[in-house]
Chains A and B, each alone.
Chain A
Amino acid sequence: MENLEFLSECFMVLKQKKEEGKKVIAFISHDNIPEELIDAAGYIPLRMVFAGNDELMDASHDYLPPSTCAFAQSCIGAFSIKPNNLKFLDLIDYVVISNHCVSDICASEIISKYYNIPQLKFYVSYTKTENSLKYFKLELVDFKRKLEELRGSVIETQDLMNSIVKYNNFKRKLSELSKLTIPGSQKLIHFQRAILKGPDYLPELETFLQSQENAQKNEKGKPILLTGCSIFINDYLNDLIEDGGGNIVFFDTWVGFNYYSQIFSDEQINSSNDPIDLLVERFKNNIFGDHSVPNYLESKISQIEEFSINYKKKFGKKVGVINHIIKFCDHMSIMSSHLKNKLQEKGIQVLNLERDYSRANRGQLTTRIEAFLEMM
């Protein structure tokens, strides 16, 4: 199914749910947002996982200067222009203001203010000390309370636990995708759609996974580990990589590993009395979230190194790393040279690929990707 068709279908589904009385809560911040709480409240969490283009970025310049994250610009532009494939933005009832990064804060505030969408705040601690975890719990409790005010009733503990289990099972299923030896583009489409649609996507995901059980291995191209910023829906980047002779074998990004790896064990779920504490635990264990300081870089390097070693052992090939940096992304760009230097010291080749969503960028990206693949 093409993206356009899929997004139209999402629109219809959302529209129907709204007619049933459900509300849609959108958020830009990728990580640490308790979608289970939103789901338990009977609302629909909607992640902004859409790539931009020239028109969307330009439309944001009424509100933000051009030297802002291209993704944040595109989110604002999406609300400004409401392109045909994103009509469901009209259905949004609330927007979550969260501090994954300061561009996310700004974009969410602008969307809330200028498009008259009420806001819900959910701020996340930057470190992982004991006090930071306590603070995170305060935010969860506050967020829960606000959702309860909106719906006019309490969110029962069991309901929240059920949501957590539902999302947990969904992420487990999603993690099976990464083990398949199929082109990265196929994995990516499912990651993107799953993250957008949530557990409602489970039937389609299971159908696909079943269809791959006896399918022939089909993984051509030079193996690439993608890290940094995610590849969002309607982004051509993966096409460029595959056209150039590469294949992403591991998505070390939020649309990918960083999302589906955040799962609980059965033991954790069964032994927990308070689902809020479970969510705090997950936050604590989320060492790959780029929002946090001060050990994010080290964790990232270790993980990439470990994957490289295991991949080489298993397949006899070296992966190349593409560090995808959306222009003006604070988190990814400042670490880019350190990441590259440290990995190259370990014999892992890295391409820092900085880009925005402009059409003009495409040729430049192609040259860099092809040169990198030629280097490998």
Chain B
Amino acid sequence: MSAPVKLNVNGLPVEVPAGASVAAAVAQLTLQFRRSVSAEQRAPLCGMGVCFECRVQVNGVTHVRACMTPVSEGMQVITDA
């Protein structure tokens, strides 16, 4: 397995194995991925890109499904929590 990947979640450094998803990286720090329409905290439900509960901002792009996105070195992830 290749070297772990370092990235930032809400400005804080996180390290995960190569090939991990952004969802896995966020979960190292928090289970608050997004706020629902009525301001409830939400986290991934389905793990496979169907439920859209895992949407976060990745490198400036919003509404990215974290469970479908592999991490990359230096990635900036911001949750909506």
Q: Are both chains from one complex?
A: no
